[in-house]
Amino acid sequence: MIVFTRDKISMERTIEQLLKDLQGLRNEFNDFLYYLPDALLEIDIISRRLTYMNRMANILFGYSEEDFSTGIAISQLFAGKEYERAVAIIQGYVGKSLEQKLEYSRSGRTDLYEFQMRRKDGATFPAETQTSYVLDKNHIPLAMRTIVRDVTDRKKAAEARGRELESLLQSGGRNFTALDEAAATELDKALKEISRNAESVLAVVSPHTLSWEASQKIASAARRLAELLKRPPQTR
C-alpha cells in the first residue's frame, strides 16, 4: 500500500500545473509564429526540404497544409537559376562549418537578399529574404529559418521613380526647369552623392547578392549619372 503524503501530493500538483503552463506557453509561441505578418520558412540544410511553413507562407506561395505534409523541396520555391544562387549564398555562410565540423560563427549583420521566387501555380515575384541559422548542441548549423517578403509593390514604385528621374534628366540634363531652385539644388546634391559613391558601393557588394542583370543596370545608371554631372549647366 502506497501512502501519499500531503507534501508529495502538493508537489505532483505543482509539477502538473507547471507542465500545463509550459504547454500553454508553447501553444502561444506556435500561434505567434503561425500568424506572423511575414512568411516564415524553416528548411533542413542537409535535405534542403521545408520543415515548417506558417500561414503567410502558405498564402504567399500558394501551398496548402496537405502539400506541405507530402513534402516540398526548397528548389520549388525559386524561379529560373535563383535556386543555385541561393545555395551558393548558404554555402558561403555555413559551408566551412558543415565540412569541417566547426562551430558556426554568426555574422552579427542584418543580411538581406533578393530573389525571384515562384508560387505553386508557376507565377513569379520578387522577394526579399532574411535568414537565421539553427544550430545543434555543438553549434553546427542544422536548419535555417527564413523570412520572405513580397516586394513587388516596392519595386514598381522604385521603377516609377526611376522613370520620372530619367525623363527629367533627358529633358534637360542638369537644367531642372520643372523644379524650383531649392528642389534643383537638393537633386543636384543627390546625384553628386550617387556618382561619388557608386564605384565604392559596387566594390563591396557580394557577387551573389545581386543578379548579373541587376549589377549591370546599377553600373549603367552610375555611368550615366557621372556623364550628366560632367555636363555644364544649361541656361534658361
How does pLDDT run across 72-108, given as a tens digit for each residue? 999 999 999 999 999 999 999 999 999 999 999 888 8
**Mean pLDDT over the full length of the chain:** 80
Question: In 3-state terms, what secondary structure has residue 38?
Answer: coil
Domain boundaries, the chain: 36-150, 153-230
- DSSP code of 124? E
Q: Which three cell numbers stand for residue 104?
A: 558556426
> Regarding beta strands 39-44 and 141-150, do their DSSP bridges make them parallel or antiparallel, or are they unpaired?
antiparallel
pLDDT > 90 fraction of the chain, expressed in percent and rounded:
46
**Higher pLDDT, residue 190 or 175:** 190
Distance in angstroms (rounded) separating the CA atoms of residues 97 and 108: 16
Backbone angles phi, psi at 48, to 5 degrees: 60, 40
Question: Order of strands across the sheet with 141-150?
Answer: 50-53, 39-44, 141-150, 124-135, 112-118
* Span 204-232, average pLDDT: 58
Predicted local distance difference test score (pLDDT) of residue 1: 47
**pLDDT per residue as tens digits for the range 13-28:** 787 877 777 778 888 8
Q: Is the pLDDT at 210 greater than 60, yes or no?
A: no
Question: In 3-state terms, what secondary structure has residue 109?
Answer: coil
Predicted local distance difference test score (pLDDT) of residue 162: 82
Confidence label for 9 from pLDDT (cuts 50, 70 and 90): confident
Question: In 3-state terms, what secondary structure has residue 115?
Answer: strand
Lowest-pLDDT range, 21-35, 144-158, 200-214?
200-214
Residue with cell 501530493: 9
Q: Which three cell numbers stand for residue 105?
A: 560563427
Say if CB 130 and CB 111 are below 8 A apart.
Answer: yes
CATH 3.30.450.20 fits 36-150, yes or no: yes
- The pTM of the full predicted model, rounded to 2 decimals, is 0.63
Distance in angstroms (rounded) separating the CA atoms of residues 154 and 111: 18
Say if CB 168 and CB 188 are below 8 A apart.
Answer: no
Helices 181-204 & 212-230 angle (0-180, nearest 10): 140
Predicted local distance difference test score (pLDDT) of residue 213: 63
